[in-house]
Structure 1
């Protein structure tokens, strides 16, 4: 399947890696051939699919919770109960305080990131083709977790929660004391301690964001290369094995993001 007038492999790859963007300076949609980069450009496709998948997650879980039964549960209810049980078990094992936020946060992160990753299994040309011929949108990327802006946003949200959680439990004095008196418990080393602890703190959201982005971007790129370099009738020979293996990557990336979030919040709640 081809989209528009694409004559070379380079054009095909560039087309699939181009976001549907809005320039906030002029409030105009960015043209497909515009290669300029600006802080004031937002990726409308990533934002739309992130919100859309979040609404699906909330609606699905609300529907199952409202209609849950202990007599004859359907397969979807059983699957969701297994997910909730998995998240709850990991939270109980790693977080040793009472909190009404950690478990729902971990469940939300796992399911939301999983749904965003799952978009990578859709045919690479399907939604871009529909958007171009039915909606007039020249370019579209459908995997939000392959956009560094989305993963950094989630990582930044976790970072804010880490700071808030630390201050809530330890107080501003206790939090400041940890920044200034670790790992060397001596006032002379306060500047060095502050630099080391700041780097350690900032590296947490960055590592979360880059790990998820790197894995999903490379996976998306492999699908694009298979579609670009092979004729349509032979693409299944590589697409099917890679998609089967990619299911494991989709699950693992969501699980790792959730686990590291729990670990970071657990570390933030401990008094050293």
Structure 2
């Protein structure tokens, strides 16, 4: 089996002509590494499906089923069509967060470019879903309930919607980058037992941040599906 570090070196060499700074190059390299690993994992989990699952298939069914149940409980049955988008973002962000707990590895979500890309995907998907579901009537979401206040409400709503990708970007980036810096400091001061509690807390932070991002994505898409009043 090819070692992941060889993949990282391969991706870094591909990115060398772009003259990116080291942090951006590492984030892109680790992102592609995670994408490849998730693709391999999905192929292995679905290559020999059984009526009575076991091993990797059983684990992946628990993960996928848990995300699907959460989407249905939050958005209702009409949220099922958006399961691939939300589940993909959730799993990618979670694995990216957990990658930072491996010594010598860097979590892509500790780079603002990665979190901004995920946030923009949610932002665009929200409005594409809204326009597809309501047509031009989707603009009523920005007009408010009182007709003569519509021009003012429109600008307020636009600012509110534009703040969503900013908050999604900064929340995930701030938490993951902050934890990475604290972990590096502890490893520098005491590289043995002292960083262990921080790494355990990092597992909790990784799950919480992935859950929060997924939950907000569901809420935003759910809001675009609702009828404007």
Same fold (TM over 0.5): yes
1:161, distance to aligned residue in structure 2 (A): 0.3
Select the structure of larger CA radius of gyration: 1
Q: Look up the match of 1:110.
A: 90
What pairs with 1:103-182 in structure 2 (closer than 5 Å)?
103-123=83-103, 126=104, 142-172=106-136, 174-179=137-142, 181-182=143-144
* Cα separation, partners in 2 of 1:71 and 1:189, compared to 1, 3 Å: closer
CA RMSD after TM alignment: 2.4
Q: Look up the match of 1:6.
A: none
What SS class does the counterpart of residue 227 from structure 2 fall into?
A: coil
Structure 1 alignment gaps of length 5 or more: 1-19, 33-41, 128-141
What SS class does the counterpart of residue 78 from structure 1 fall into?
A: helix
Give, in whole Å, the separation in 2 of the partners of 1:104 and 1:23. Answer: 29
1:71, distance to aligned residue in structure 2 (A): 3.4
What pairs with 1:1-272 in structure 2 (closer than 5 Å)?
27-28=18-19, 30=21, 43-71=24-52, 73-74=54-55, 76-96=56-76, 98=78, 101-123=81-103, 126=104, 142-172=106-136, 174-179=137-142, 181-182=143-144, 184-186=145-147, 188-228=148-188, 230=189, 234-272=190-228
Give, in whole Å, the separation in 2 of the partners of 1:88 and 1:164. Answer: 21
Measured against aligned partners, the alpha-carbon deviations of 1:57-112 in whole angstroms (never above 9, x if no partner) come to: 122122212222233611x2222111111111111112235366411112111110
Q: Which structure's residues are more often helix, by fraction?
A: 2
What SS class does the counterpart of residue 100 from structure 2 fall into?
A: helix
* Cα separation, partners in 2 of 1:264 and 1:236, compared to 1, 3 Å: same
214-223 vs 98-107, greater mean Cα deviation: 98-107
Give, in whole Å, the separation in 1 of the partners of 2:81 and 2:40. Answer: 20
1:121, distance to aligned residue in structure 2 (A): 0.6
Deviation beyond 2 Å, 4+ runs, structure 1: 26-30, 96-101, 234-237
Q: Normalized against structure 2, the TM-score is what? A: 0.85
What SS class does the counterpart of residue 52 from structure 1 fall into?
A: helix
* Cα separation, partners in 2 of 1:47 and 1:101, compared to 1, 3 Å: farther
- Does the 8 Å contact 2:68/2:80 carry over to 1? no
Structure 2 alignment gaps of length 5 or more: 1-11
1:191, distance to aligned residue in structure 2 (A): 2.4
239-248 vs 97-106, greater mean Cα deviation: 97-106
- Aligned residues, how many? 216
Give, in whole Å, the separation in 2 of the partners of 1:152 and 1:72. Answer: 37
Q: Normalized against structure 1, the TM-score is what? A: 0.73
Give, in whole Å, the separation in 1 of the partners of 2:124 and 2:20. Answer: 32
Give, in whole Å, the separation in 1 of the partners of 2:46 and 2:108. Answer: 27
* Cα separation, partners in 2 of 1:80 and 1:114, compared to 1, 3 Å: same
